[in-house]
């Protein structure tokens, strides 16, 4: 499930600011990056059903390399997936309404923070 209506795609920030804002809103990068691409995740776990969902925000370096202070990073379209052990994550699913609503809330919060700190 993509979140096109949020309007995050196309925002460009310097790497350090992006890292800070993602952390503030609850997204982690972990080991999901290389010199040109990054994926930030927010994990949802339903302890009653055992279901695991990931809200993902892919990004790409448009100038410099990831993890360098002068790098400019472009935010791409966020999407939600459901994890199936041991097979991986599927994105074409019916997602719980409360999870989708929480995703929208987090993405809107991130968008507001980005717009406070950068005009792109």
Q: Contact at 8 Å (CB) between 16 and 69?
A: yes
d(CA 88, CA 104): 23
User: Which one has a higher pLDDT value, 80 or 87?
Assistant: 80
Q: How many domains are contained in the chain?
A: 1
Mean pLDDT (whole number) for 14-28: 95
| Beta-carbon count within 10 A of 100 CB | 16
d(CA 85, CA 75): 28
Q: Average pLDDT over the chain, rounded to whole?
A: 92
- 37-80 pLDDT per residue, tens: 999 999 999 888 889 999 999 999 999 999 998 899 999 999 99
d(CA 73, CA 64): 9
DSSP 8-21: -TT-EEEHHHHHHH
119, pLDDT greater than 80: no
CATH number reported for the structural domain that contains residue 71 in this entry: 3.30.310.100
Q: Provide the whole-model pTM.
A: 0.91
């Amino acid at each position: 499930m993509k979140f096109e209506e949020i309007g995050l795609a196309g925002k460009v920030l310097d790497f350090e600011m992006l890292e800070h804002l993602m952390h503030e809103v609850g997204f982690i990068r972990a080991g999901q990056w290389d010199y040109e691409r990054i994926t930030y995740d927010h994990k949802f776990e339903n302890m009653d059903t055992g279901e695991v969902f990931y809200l993902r925000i892919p990004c790409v370096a448009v100038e410099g390399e990831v993890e360098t202070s002068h790098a400019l990073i472009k935010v791409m379209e966020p999407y939600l997936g459901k994890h199936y052990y041991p097979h991986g994550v599927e994105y074409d699913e019916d997602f719980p309404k409360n999870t989708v609503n929480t995703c929208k809330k987090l993405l809107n919060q991130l968008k507001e923070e980005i717009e406070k700190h950068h005009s792109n």
